[in-house]
Amino acid sequence: MCTLVVQSAAALRFLAVRPSEITLGEAFLAKEIDIEGDLFAVFDMAEHLFRCPGGQRQRVGDLISRMAVEVSHWWTHGQRHSVKRDRSAISYHYDQPLEFYQPWLGPSLAYSCAYFKSAEDSIDTAQSNKLEMVCRKLRLSPDDRFLDIGCGWGSLILHAASRHCGYAHGITISQEQAAVAEARIGRALLAENCKAELLDYRHAPSHFQPFDKIASLGMFEHVGRENLPRYFQTVHGLLKPGGVFLNHGIAKAPVTQEASVFGKLLSPEIRAIPLLQRAESSSFMDKYVFPEGELVTISEAMRAAESSGFEVRDVENLREHYELTLRCWVNGLQRNADTLLKHVSETTYRIWLLYMAGSAAAFRRGDIAVYQMLLYRPDRGATQLPLTREDWYH
């Protein structure tokens, strides 16, 4: 259960007069509107209120639901992705101090969907499960050279180098993440067979010899639709024939905005705006969380991968796992609020609460999902892969 608290006359006007797409989110950030109780429940309440008869209740539900709408709506937006602009956008989100992320991410510092064997698993257990499953799907061996594109704070390369492969190399375009990852590698005494550096994937071919195995976790969302062919072609060129690539990323549902659950919650005025014009408008997620982020459908991603020479070997949808992950993160944010507010402003803290709770609602409703797609670079017809997946689960 939750209670929507209106703190001011100005906030009441937000509920009486249809706001812009980011007004309600900004009212939450400014504490003019607040939520008491279960933060996740506000999105269910919004959907219920919108479906109830009565103009005013419908309007209130419409306005509340925009917080949820913005979580999925921003994925359909996108501008051209240059190396410079991508680095700036990534820095905006990921270059927060480590002291902000660590309390709620846990010791793994893994900032992507975890893998729950049970809904009762802790976030630490589920993230460890995920890192291990990625290594098993890649079938990393002591002879392998492994590349992690978008390595974050080094979670996967540390896991791979310490338990599975001969050499693990991570690249990221976040300066803060690269520095933290290198420090963690040093503390783990893995500098001889593990490294992280500041490098854009588009520059990687001129820096490296081909790798045996490659992964990318949670970076795919920042590539952009226009860059999909280049992305998969670049990874294909970085991989030896017979090698495999695991791409772990969020995709939107293969329906139009109007046909989706969130689309139905949009007001008639918003639905009447052409999609192109709507895509050019500002949104809460664009402005405050992931500037220039963009999602495609899984079918678009697979077509781009196949057109680049990859063979699709396995696709797994982890949608329910990401809702569980986000719920753990929100609980961690709330549980560690006093500590986190020593390192970031209350506005930043509330941005993360709103975006994560709204994202959990979007995953639960199926407007977005997260997929692990295992791709193979063919070697003259030889697969070099086992006939079954049994070794993944032993």
pLDDT band at 92 (very low <50, low <70, confident <90, very high): very low
CATH of the domain at 140: 3.40.50.150
Query: In this structure, are residues 33 and 328 in contact, taking their beta carbons and an 8 Å threshold?
Result: no
User: Does 201 or 260 have the greater pLDDT score?
Assistant: 201
Lowest-confidence region among 153-157, 209-213, 334-338, 379-383: 379-383
Cα distance between residue 286 and residue 73, in whole Å: 9
The total of structural domains in the chain comes to 1
Lowest-confidence region among 6-15, 157-166, 263-272, 373-382: 263-272
Residue 246 lies in a domain: yes
User: Does 27 or 376 have the greater pLDDT score?
Assistant: 376
Q: Tell me whether residue 72 is exposed, middle or buried, using C-beta atoms within 10 angstroms of its C-beta: 0 to 12, 13 to 18, 19 or more.
A: buried
Cα distance between residue 372 and residue 251, in whole Å: 11
Residue 72 lies in a domain: no
* 185-196 pLDDT per residue, tens: 999 999 999 999
Query: In this structure, are residues 132 and 159 in contact, taking their beta carbons and an 8 Å threshold?
Result: yes
**Which residues form the domain of 382?**
81-254+297-324+367-393
Lowest-confidence region among 214-218, 233-237, 288-292: 288-292
Nearest Cα neighbor of 146 from 249, 246, 250 is 246
Q: 8 is written with which tokens? A: 């001011």
The single residue listed with the structure tokens 């602009």 is: 85
Residue 268 lies in a domain: no
pLDDT band at 14 (very low <50, low <70, confident <90, very high): low
User: Does 268 or 308 have the greater pLDDT score?
Assistant: 308
Q: Is the pLDDT of residue 108 over 70?
A: yes
Coil, helix or strand at residue 72: helix
Task: Supply φ then ψ for residue 341, to 5 degrees.
Answer: -70, -5
Paired strand residues for 175: none
Mean pLDDT across 105-134:
97
Q: Is the pLDDT of residue 272 over 50?
A: no
Cα distance between residue 180 and residue 95, in whole Å: 11
Residue 98 lies in a domain: yes
Residue 319 lies in a domain: yes
Residue 59 lies in a domain: no
pLDDT band at 388 (very low <50, low <70, confident <90, very high): very high
Query: In this structure, are residues 244 and 376 in contact, taking their beta carbons and an 8 Å threshold?
Result: yes
Q: 158 is written with which tokens? A: 């540390």
* 35-88 pLDDT per residue, tens: 676 776 666 655 554 455 444 444 444 444 444 444 444 444 434 445 554 554
Residue 234 lies in a domain: yes
Residue 182 lies in a domain: yes
Cα distance between residue 42 and residue 35, in whole Å: 8
